[in-house]
Amino acid sequence: MPATIVSPRLMRIGGGSVSQIAEVLGLFGLSRPLIVTDPWMVSSGTIDRCLAPLRAAGLAPAIFAETVPDPTDTVIAAGVAVLQAGDFDSLIGFGGGSPMDTAKAMAILAAAPAGARMRDFKVPAQADRAAVPVVCIPTTAGTGSEATRFTVITDTETDEKMLIAGLGALPLAAIVDHELTFSVPPRTTADTGIDSLTHALEAFVSKRANPHADSLALSAMRLIGRHLRIAYHQPRNAAAREAMMLGAMQAGLAFSNSSVALVHGMSRPIGAHFHVPHGLSNAMLLPAVTEFGLNDALPRYAEAARAIGVATVEDADQVAGSKLLEELRALNQELGVPTPREHGIPADRWEGLLPLMARQALASGSPANNPRVPEETE
Ligand code: NAD
């Protein structure tokens, strides 16, 4: 089946590249950006890494810093009001997946007729138009949102984390500077790192896998498999941070051109109902979901185990598949990933919401790409 491949028009990658933000905007004739970020970026002063080079180039950017984790439709509407009230020609999403997704969603909603809401764009709708171009600058090595055609927005009326897909969500450019991740604390390094590993693995075993996405997924798994633990234990290890940032971006490109699958389908309702950070809910699910589908795509999972570095070419696929499961469980153990109960989710609330979460997971479309597609009861 033919595959459509998309990626940002420009990606500037490397330590210190954030200082070139004004030049990157200039390449596209852009000079009046609205920066979308979160409150911590402002209170910690991290935003100055983006502001200072813009100001030095004579630009006067404005800041919308009201992004929340798991960005909501109400925050997007507030951001669109700011965007439309000013004379902006671009958006800069600066931060983790939440600010980047907020910027992308603002561009999509601002291009729609008055009265439109984010839910009008959720999959299977297509969100192909953007009011202004978006430049993304990630500060976590995780979501890959800087390179994907997706944004994930929570509907505050239904508590649904909606997947929104289309060219309107694809950034014009990305600046990928691993030095911005030195300050990421170990818990977030672990959660975002497992998120990126999940992207690469799901893209690779997806029913929508294709040779282009495969090459990116394999490269991402090689990088993440060898560097996630080091980045977790040694936050200022530049080589590990650089490898993780590149791996996260490649994993984003991989799933953007293939798909995510069952882990992400199940993870979104957990995030929406219990506000578990996105990467952490993926991590909670990854070993069990991998075990569930292992024998339905054994050669692929075995190849993934070899890329991650826990199996060799001499290992038979069944052996490599078992080693992959062992590694995913060991990684969760070493990175302190809790069970839902250990995370503080009461068992009765969890069990009460399971049927709804199962329905929401299946309705999102992602599980249909999994090597083994579960029934609602499973
Ligand atoms: P996040 O953006 O919510 O950030 C998590 C926390 O880390 C925040 O408190 C933030 O302030 C902090 N942080 C960020 N960078 C930091 C730094 N350099 N130093 C210290 N602290 C820092 O988390 P995330 O995991 O990056 O993004 C999650 C969101 O991305 C979710 O809403 C998820 O659904 C979405 N997502 C989107 C895509 C996509 O393709 N669009 C893919 C996967 C996930």
Rounded to whole angstroms, what are the CA distances from 296 to 86, 110, 164, 268?
Answer: 53, 43, 28, 24
Testing ligand 1's pocket by substitution, the residue of 121, 143, 178, 255 carrying the most ligand atoms inside 8 A of its CB is 143
Residue 272: predicted pLDDT: 85
Residue 159 binned pLDDT confidence (cut-offs 50, 70, 90): confident
**DSSP type of residue 327:** H
Cα–Cα nearest to 203, from 219, 215, 217: 217
- Give the contacts of 320 (CB within 8 A, at least 6 positions apart): 301, 302, 303, 305, 306, 310, 311
Tens digit of each residue's pLDDT (9 = 90 or more) over 265-274: 999 899 888 9
C-alpha of residue 315 to centroid of ligand 1, in Å: 36
Testing ligand 1's pocket by substitution, the residue of 102, 278, 285 carrying the most ligand atoms inside 8 A of its CB is 278
Cα–Cα distance, 51 to 300 (Å, whole number): 44
C-alpha of residue 320 to centroid of ligand 1, in Å: 32
Question: Among the residues of the chain, which ranges form H helices?
Answer: 21-27, 39-43, 48-56, 73-85, 97-110, 186-205, 211-233, 238-257, 262-274, 278-293, 298-308, 317-334, 347-363
Cα–Cα distance, 124 to 268 (Å, whole number): 16
- Integer Rg of the chain from CA: 20
C-alpha of residue 118 to centroid of ligand 1, in Å: 20
C-alpha of residue 38 to centroid of ligand 1, in Å: 10
Cα–Cα nearest to 246, from 224, 261, 229: 224
C-alpha of residue 161 to centroid of ligand 1, in Å: 15
Residue 75: predicted pLDDT: 98
Give, for 92, the enclosing helix (H) or strand (E). strand 90-95
CATH architecture under which domain 10-180 falls? 3-Layer(aba) Sandwich (3.40)
Phi, psi of 183 (to 5 degrees): -85, -5
Atom of ligand 1 nearest to the CA of 140: 15
Ligand 1, atom 19: nearest CA belongs to which residue? 184
C-alpha of residue 72 to centroid of ligand 1, in Å: 14
Mean per-residue pLDDT, 91-117: 97
pTM of the model: 0.96
C-alpha of residue 112 to centroid of ligand 1, in Å: 26
Ligand 1, atom 9: nearest CA belongs to which residue? 40
CATH superfamily of 186-369: Dehydroquinate synthase-like - alpha domain (1.20.1090.10)
Tens digit of each residue's pLDDT (9 = 90 or more) over 208-252: 999 999 999 999 999 999 999 999 999 999 999 999 999 999 999
C-alpha of residue 135 to centroid of ligand 1, in Å: 16
Mean per-residue pLDDT, 133-150: 98
Residue 169, token pair as written in the block: 């969500």
- Do the first three CATH levels of 10-180 and 186-369 match, i.e. the same topology? no
Domain coordinates of the chain in residue numbers?
A: 10-180, 186-369
Tens digit of each residue's pLDDT (9 = 90 or more) over 163-218: 999 999 999 999 999 999 999 999 999 999 999 999 999 999 999 999 999 999 99
Cα–Cα distance, 173 to 179 (Å, whole number): 18
Ramachandran area for residue 141 (φ above 0: left; ψ -120 to 50: alpha; else beta): beta
Q: What is the rounded average pLDDT for all residues in the chain? A: 96
**DSSP type of residue 72:** B
**DSSP type of residue 46:** T
Cα–Cα distance, 235 to 81 (Å, whole number): 38
Atom of ligand 1 nearest to the CA of 180: 18
Cα–Cα distance, 27 to 29 (Å, whole number): 6
- DSSP-derived secondary structure for 189-250: HHHHHHHHHHHHHHHHHSTT--HHHHHHHHHHHHHHHHHHHHHHH-TT-HHHHHHHHHHHHH
Cα–Cα distance, 266 to 177 (Å, whole number): 31
Ligand 1, atom 34: nearest CA belongs to which residue? 152
Residue 316: predicted pLDDT: 98
Tens digit of each residue's pLDDT (9 = 90 or more) over 1-30: 788 999 999 999 999 999 999 999 999 999
Tell me the angle at which helices 317-334 and 298-308 cross, rounded to the nearest 10 degrees.
50
Ligand 1 neighbours by CB, cut-off 6 Å? 38, 40, 69-70, 95-98, 101, 139-140, 142-143, 145, 148, 150-152, 180-181, 183-184, 188, 192, 195, 278-279
**Residue that is written with structure tokens 């599980």 in the block:** 367
Atom of ligand 1 nearest to the CA of 255: 40
Tens digit of each residue's pLDDT (9 = 90 or more) over 267-326: 989 988 898 999 999 999 999 999 999 999 999 999 999 999 999 999 999 999 999 999
Cα–Cα nearest to 108, from 125, 95, 94, 96: 125
C-alpha of residue 206 to centroid of ligand 1, in Å: 24
Cα–Cα distance, 271 to 135 (Å, whole number): 26
Q: Do the beta carbons of residue 161 and residue 152 sit within 8 Å?
A: yes
Q: Do the beta carbons of residue 180 and residue 224 sit within 8 Å?
A: no
Mapping DSSP onto H, E and C, the string for 239-284 reads HHHHHHHHHHHHHHHHHHHCCCCHHHHHHHHHHHHHCCCHHHHHHH
